[in-house]
């Protein structure tokens, strides 16, 4: 019997995508996010009054639905590169740039929130701009991001992928679909895709959010991600 290697590889990738799905309520990723969200709920409780205005930079309605946070008195403002249609009366969707939150005055939102977004900005300079804006507009904030030193890259779902030299990563994404990233046939597409990701180290995150408390999310004794929280 001959094994269908491409089909097996594709099935394995689909299974990994399911485990890592942020919108499936029974996925492993959703389980981690619920545990993480409990710390965010502690932050909300510390604000001491309701309703709050929560600015979610780079977030989705689906995330808040999975977290069971849609039937609350809080106003949730979703800011992304393009606006989307909202399904809940307490949600607002805006188009904007995480590096320039020009529609928001200093300290104008009760809580600025961002989950697994800052690592998508590609360069440390862009990450500095986003962090500065989060600190400027939010009276409190909660920013989560994967840990550079965790061995499994969370977007490509490939062990040690982010530690490889750029040429090796380029070759891999041109040959295979990895995790949530489909195969990129051209060199230009591969370089563009890889340039969108920059995982942060603890020291870098602390430098970006000097007034925050850093909390580590552990898996098997290893730090999977960090949360920078200003209470």
Contacts of 205 (CB under 8 A, 6+ apart): 143, 145, 214, 226, 228
What rounded mean pLDDT belongs to the chain?
Answer: 90
Asked whether the predicted pLDDT for residue 197 surpasses 50, the reply is yes
In this prediction, residue 71 has a pLDDT band, given cuts at 50, 70 and 90, of confident
Give the model's pLDDT for residue 16: 47
5-150+199-230: CATH, from 3.40.190.10, 1.10.150.20, 3.20.20.140, 3.40.50.150 = 3.40.50.150
The Cβ-side half-sphere exposure at 225, using a 13 Å CA radius, reads: 20
Where are the domain boundaries for CATH 3.40.50.150 in the chain? 5-150+199-230
In this prediction, residue 230 has a pLDDT band, given cuts at 50, 70 and 90, of very high
Percent of the chain having pLDDT more than 70? 87
Give the model's pLDDT for residue 19: 46
In this prediction, residue 33 has a pLDDT band, given cuts at 50, 70 and 90, of confident
Q: Model pTM?
A: 0.86
């Amino acid at each position: 019997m001959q094994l269908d290697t491409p089909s097996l590889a594709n099935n394995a990738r689909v299974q990994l995508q399911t485990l890592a799905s942020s919108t499936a309520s029974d996925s492993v990723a959703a389980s981690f996010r619920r545990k993480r969200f409990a710390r965010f709920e502690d932050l909300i409780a510390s604000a001491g009054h309701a309703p709050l205005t929560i600015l979610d930079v780079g977030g989705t309605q689906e995330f808040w639905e999975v977290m069971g946070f849609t039937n609350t008195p809080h106003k949730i403002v979703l800011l992304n590169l393009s606006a989307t249609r909202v399904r809940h009366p307490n949600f607002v969707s805006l188009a904007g740039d995480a590096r320039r939150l020009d529609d928001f005055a200093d300290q104008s939102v009760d809580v600025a929130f961002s989950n697994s977004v800052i690592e998508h900005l590609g360069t440390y300079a862009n990450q500095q701009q986003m962090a500065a804006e989060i600190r400027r507009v939010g009276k409190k904030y909660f920013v989560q991001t994967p840990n550079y030193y965790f061995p499994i890259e969370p977007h490509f779902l490939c062990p040690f992928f982010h530690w490889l030299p750029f040429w090796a990563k380029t070759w891999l994404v041109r040959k295979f679909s990895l995790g949530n990233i489909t195969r990129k046939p051209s060199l230009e597409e591969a370089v563009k895709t890889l340039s969108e990701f920059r995982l942060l180290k603890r020291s870098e995150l602390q430098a970006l959010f000097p007034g925050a408390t850093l909390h580590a999310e552990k898996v098997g004794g290893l730090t999977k991600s960090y949360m920078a929280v200003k209470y």
